Amino acid sequence: MLLYATDFADRLEKEIIPALKAGFVVLSDRYIFTALARAGVRGVDRLWLRNLYGFAIAPHMVFYLNVDVKTLIGRVLASRGMDFWESGMDLKHGDDIYDSFRAYQNKLLREYSSMADEFHFRVVDARRPVDRIQDELRKNVAAFLEPAERPADRSAEGLVFQR
């Protein structure tokens, strides 16, 4: 967990904050939320995790692409296939990578759902076709970026896509 937090701190300091200070809008895939969910599934204390990542800048918007495990399995098999870590094989749910993936991803989905209220995720139904999901995300981001909708201080804004 400390390695992931250190890597994130490095990216925050060297990439994200400089971009924000230069006036850019930062789009980030996952941000701190994947690390929190994966650690939570592995039984790491939530308060300790929240304190560990307490230095992170709170994003203005977080999109959580919520999908059921059956749909997720189909998409993973059609793209890159299952790997050891994404399947939670380290948690010893069994020897079968498919069964382990299903069990691990179900736990992750519960973890993300529990974080949705805490971190104010904008939940997007990711069971739909990819082009419809992309249209929804683009509309939400465009609405956020509209001049009339912009916050007065844009020095620390960011958007996060969480899947």
| pLDDT computed for residue 109 by the predictor | 95
Distance CA 32, CA 12 (A): 10
What is the model's pTM? 0.82
Residue 26, token pair as written in the block = 């930062």
| pLDDT computed for residue 154 by the predictor | 53
Give me the tens of pLDDT residue by residue for the chain, a chain 163 residues long. Answer: 999 999 999 999 999 999 999 999 999 988 999 999 999 999 999 999 999 999 999 999 999 999 999 999 999 999 988 989 889 999 988 899 999 999 999 999 999 999 999 999 999 999 999 999 999 999 999 999 887 545 555 555 555 555 5
| pLDDT computed for residue 94 by the predictor | 83
| pLDDT computed for residue 80 by the predictor | 87
Q: Which domains does the chain have, with CATH numbers?
A: 2-162 (3.40.50.300)
What is the H or E stretch that residue 61 is in?
A: strand 61-66
What does DSSP say about strands 122-125 and 26-29: parallel, antiparallel, or unpaired? unpaired
